[in-house]
Amino acid sequence: MEILAFGVQSDEKPLIEKAFEGRHEVRCLDVFLTADTAPIAAGYEVVSTSVNCALGHRVLQTLAAGGTQLVAQRSTGFNNIDLEVAERLGMTVARVSSYSPYSVAEFAWTLGMAVNRRIVRAANRTRDFDFRLAGLMGRDMHGRTAGVVGTGKIGEAFARIAHGFGMKLLGWDVAENPACVGLGMEYVSKERLLAESDLVTLHVPLMPATQHLIDAEALRLMKDDAILVNSSRGGLVDTQALVTQLREGRFTGVGLDVYEAEAGLFFLDKSLETVEDDTLARLVTFPNVLVTSHQAYYTRDAVGQIVDATAANVLDYTEGRRSENVLVPRS
């Protein structure tokens, strides 16, 4: 069986091909699955997608009409897939329920420290042989407070890093993580976490209940000199509200690896085009903001685990097994 994989990065391609070697043929495309590209999948029983592929009603109908029966998503998140439509069409949908939490946690910490210590500005200056220190002053994280919003595997990994730097830990989640409690984390209300934390990091999934979890009201609760990091999903933050707060001179730094309107932008080269997203264009102009293109997960370890799990999902599908990765079972 030949599998069609959409949205494959050049670094990812050899890992995907190796994962399926000896099992199935895989055709890797760098284009993302959209309404315009969905017809390419005609004749492919299995299609693999990335998190920035859009699998709404129209796309899923096109896939089903072309014979696709399994969508194997190469990510943990699945808010880009209309599961109800997939079920009505009799399609099976699987994802990767977990992979290295350290990849995202380490990157989140890196983002926080990069904006704290003005690393990008410093690097740009020294490239021009400007070695002044003015405007580069950061602050110690030791003794300050880290607020971890979402204390699952990734949040726990971040908490361990922050604990290692001597930070006080506050947590917010629907359930306490005993490992985080063991690190000295105090679970508090979201409002108290935002008000008392010097660094706030987001590690919750995107769902209706968490859409714009960090809205204008939440941002106003935060310290004026706080650091905000989001390496989870862009929709957790009301970006327009964030821009408004940044224009008022608030926050030491903001590190964003995700953006709520990133589909159609992230993972693509738009350097020679006019980006029409005024909010993003304004966001990247702030000197205390660092935006990266959804790369927190992008380590050889994590991507390797993702593609191995995807290959296992396809094997389970062909052999009639169902694992925890299945979102919509085979009908």
Q: What would the pLDDT profile of 222-244 be if each residue is shown by its tens digit?
A: 999 999 999 999 999 999 999 99
Of 262, 273, 276, 330, which one is the catalytic site residue?
262
Burial annotation 193-228 (CB, 10 A radius, 16+ → b, else e): bbbbbbbbbbbbebeeebebbbeeebbebbbeebbb
What pLDDT is stored for residue 200 in this prediction?
98
Active-site annotation holds for 139: no
Active site residue 186: no
Closest CA to 238 of 265, 218, 209: 218
Q: Which two tokens stand for residue 196?
A: 């008392």
Locus of tokens 């407070």: 145
Please tell me which residue in 294, 300, 319, 321 is annotated as part of the active site.
Answer: 294
Q: What is the DSSP letter of 214?
A: B
Which of 118, 203, 233, 250 is an active site residue? 233
Per-residue pLDDT, 233: 95
DSSP designation for 234: G
Q: Which amino acid is at 30?
A: D
pLDDT tens digits, one per residue of 77-132: 898 999 999 999 999 999 999 999 999 999 999 999 999 999 999 999 999 999 99
Return the pLDDT at 268.
87
Is 21 catalytic? The answer is: no
Q: Which residues of the chain have pLDDT under 70?
A: 331
Tokens for 141, please give them: 């994280």
pLDDT at 331: 67
pTM of the model: 0.92
Contacts of 215 (CB under 8 A, 6+ apart): 238, 241
- For residues 87 and 306, give the distance between their C-alpha atoms in angstroms, rounded to a whole number: 24
- Give the Cα separation of 304 and 296 in Å (integer): 14
pLDDT score for 22:
87
